[in-house]
Amino acid sequence: QKEVEQDPGPLSVPEGAIVSLNCTYSNSAFQYFMWYRQYSRKGPELLMYTYSSGNKEDGRFTAQVDKSSKYISLFIRDSQPSDSATYLCAMRTNTGNQFYFGTGTSLTVIP
């Protein structure tokens, strides 16, 4: 079983839609959770960073962590064509040196 599971998509939505991206994980010791956005032929860039449980909002983006279900989500409100990219989740424990990445979900926002 992989440490982190992420539906690869592809996901296609109309402009203005609310997008929900998700990851599940198996290691209950994970405490740090990140979401990255990766445009084609570019390196991943950090979108959101959350420690432990709860919600975090930044503009149109909201990250949620549900540790009881071992489930994290990224919501994008009022999606724009510029949001078209691959979204990667990543996580690690308090003491671990390694990040575990999901395989990424490909998102296309259609104008």
Partner 1 sequence: DADVTQTPRNRITKTGKRIMLECSQTKGHDRMYWYRQDPGLGLRLIYYSFDVKDINKGEISDGYSVSRQAQAKFSLSLESAIPNQTALYFCATSDLARGETQYFGPGTRLLVL
Please report how close the Cβ of residue 40 comes to partner 1 at its closest, in angstroms: 11
Residues 6+ apart with CB under 8 A from 9: 105, 106, 107
| Structure letter (DSSP) for residue 36 | E
Nearer to partner 1 among residue 41 and residue 111 (C-beta):
41
Nearer to partner 1 among residue 72 and residue 104 (C-beta):
104
According to DSSP, the β-strands at 61-66 and 11-14 are: unpaired
Please report how close the Cβ of residue 25 comes to partner 1 at its closest, in angstroms: 13
Nearer to partner 1 among residue 32 and residue 61 (C-beta):
32
Task: Give the span between the Cα atoms of 6 and 37, in whole angstroms.
Answer: 14
Catalog residues that contact partner 1 under the rule CB under 8 A.
Answer: 6, 8, 32, 34, 36, 41-46, 49, 51, 88, 90, 92, 97-99, 101-104
Nearer to partner 1 among residue 72 and residue 79 (C-beta):
72
Please report how close the Cβ of residue 36 comes to partner 1 at its closest, in angstroms: 8
